[in-house]
């Protein structure tokens, strides 16, 4: 297994740690930031999420720079992204920070695209992430970070940056899903 794929696996390993920090009743205290309260456990979870998200850029950069792009990496990288993002959004529902209907919409798109990728894989085709999909992922990651940080540092200004990014991520999720299916519909046609 090459280094970029190991970096991707490290992102997957960080997911259970992230989940535990947000799921366990940890009372590490909180900070007052503007009019918001930021629980320290949310801050720690945000740091872990940022590190895990950073490995997404790192593994891709390393794989392209040293020509180490593999089919395993093309499969693992988007899967790790989805696991990280979906775990975060589900936990944000539990924390009553994100409305469930948005996460259901995002989940639906991710399952649909994963299904299309599985159909393609059955035909020996690997569908890489599109540029629109990467933009969608960027907005999802940013929305999660700002929601976990309770809009810090913009909380002093009263700007709901996390929610704005969440709705932009939702819109990009829908648009990128439609775009992905339009560009790859030939896979469904050829699978009959």
How high is the pLDDT of residue 150? 92
* 18, two tokens: 């992230």
Query: What is the Cα–Cα distance from 80 to 78, expressed in whole angstroms?
Result: 5
pLDDT one-digit tens code per residue, 5-18: 999 999 999 999 99
Q: Which residue has the higher pLDDT, 164 or 133?
A: 164
pLDDT one-digit tens code per residue, 90-119: 999 999 999 999 999 999 998 998 888 888
What are the structural domain ranges in the chain? 3-190
Residue 104: C-alpha distances to residues 78, 99, 111, 170, 184 (Å): 19, 9, 10, 10, 23
Residues of the chain above pLDDT 90, percent: 54
The answer on pLDDT for 171 being more than 70 is yes
Residue 148: C-alpha distances to residues 35, 42, 66 (Å): 15, 6, 34
Per DSSP, what are the bridge partners of residue 39?
A: 30
Q: Selecting from 1.10.1740.10, 3.40.50.300, 1.20.1290.10, 1.20.120.1760, what CATH number does the domain 3-190 have? A: 1.20.120.1760
Nearest to 62 by CA among 84, 50, 77, 83: 77
Q: What average pLDDT does the structure give for the chain?
A: 89
Decide: 12 and 80 in contact? Cβ < 8 Å. yes
Question: How large is the average pLDDT for residues 118-147?
Answer: 86
The answer on pLDDT for 133 being more than 90 is no
């Amino acid at each position: 297994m090459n280094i970029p794929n190991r970096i991707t696996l490290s992102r997957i390993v960080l997911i259970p740690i992230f989940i535990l920090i947000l799921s366990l009743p940890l009372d590490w205290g909180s900070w007052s930031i503007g009019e918001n309260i930021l629980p320290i456990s949310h801050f720690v979870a945000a740091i872990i999420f940022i590190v895990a998200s950073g490995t997404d850029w790192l593994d891709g950069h390393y794989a392209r720079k040293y020509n180490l792009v593999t089919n395993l990496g093309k499969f693992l990288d988007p899967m790790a992204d989805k696991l990280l993002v979906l775990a975060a959004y589900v936990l944000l529902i539990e924390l009553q920070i994100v409305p469930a209907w948005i996460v259901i919409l995002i989940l639906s798109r991710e399952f649909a695209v994963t299904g299309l990728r599985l159909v393609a894989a059955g035909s020996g085709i690997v569908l890489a992430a599109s540029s629109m999909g990467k933009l969608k992922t960027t907005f999802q990651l940013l929305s999660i970070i700002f929601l976990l940080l309770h809009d810090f540092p913009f909380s002093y200004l009263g700007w709901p940056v996390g929610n704005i990014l969440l709705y932009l991520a939702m819109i990009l999720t829908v648009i990128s899903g439609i775009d992905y299916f339009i560009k790859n519909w030939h896979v469904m046609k050829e699978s009959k």
